[in-house]
Amino acid sequence: MKFCTYCGKEIADEAVICLGCGCNTQKANSFTSPRATAPPQEIIIEDTEPQLATWAKICGIVSFFIGWFALGITAIVLACMSKDETNGTMCSSAKVGYVCGIVSTALSFILLIVFVAFITYLSI
Ligand SMILES: [Zn+2]
């Protein structure tokens, strides 16, 4: 919790506007924040995370719900491809996609085997 700089009312940390007086609670912070003077740095950070890595992460996470090993393998491939753009090392997004891809591919194969075994068991 933090306190409104205008009226002193207790407000949530993520609150943008004070519920007590309606003032912009982030106004005071934004003037003193060093982030406001460093937008070029943020662009550099974006450059080190290639789009392929972002797609790998999205595919990896989505593959848990739909697509299963089809999207899981896509995530692994995209993560490996993104390594070429980041000098052979995986960035955090690519790692997330890679791990999620492996886990969902493994899970979907296990489920497939269990399903096939179950069908075989029923048909005997
Ligand atoms: Zn206030």
- Residue-wise pLDDT tens digits, 3-50: 888 898 888 888 888 888 888 877 554 444 444 444 554 444 445 677
Residue 33: partners with Cβ closer than 8 Å, 6 or more residues away: none
Using the structure block, give the residue that is written with the tokens 């999620």. 100
Same structural domain, 52 and 7? no
Q: Tell how far the Cα of 33 is from the centroid of ligand 1, in angstroms.
A: 20
Q: Tell how far the Cα of 31 is from the centroid of ligand 1, in angstroms.
A: 18
- Residue-wise pLDDT tens digits, 49-106: 778 888 889 988 888 888 778 888 999 999 888 888 777 888 888 899 999 999 999 9
Whether the model clears a pTM of 0.95, i.e. scores above it, the answer is: no
Q: Tell how far the Cα of 83 is from the centroid of ligand 1, in angstroms.
A: 49
Q: Tell how far the Cα of 51 is from the centroid of ligand 1, in angstroms.
A: 41
Tokens read off for 64: 């848990």
Same structural domain, 23 and 50? no
Give the torsion through C-alpha atoms of 59, 62, 67, 71, to 10 deg.
20
As a whole number of angstroms, the distance between CA 99 and CA 105 comes to 10
- The count of domains in the chain is 2
Tokens read off for 109: 């194969």
As a whole number of angstroms, the distance between CA 116 and CA 41 comes to 52
Same structural domain, 61 and 118? yes
Q: Which domain holds residue 97?
A: 46-123
Q: Tell how far the Cα of 34 is from the centroid of ligand 1, in angstroms.
A: 24
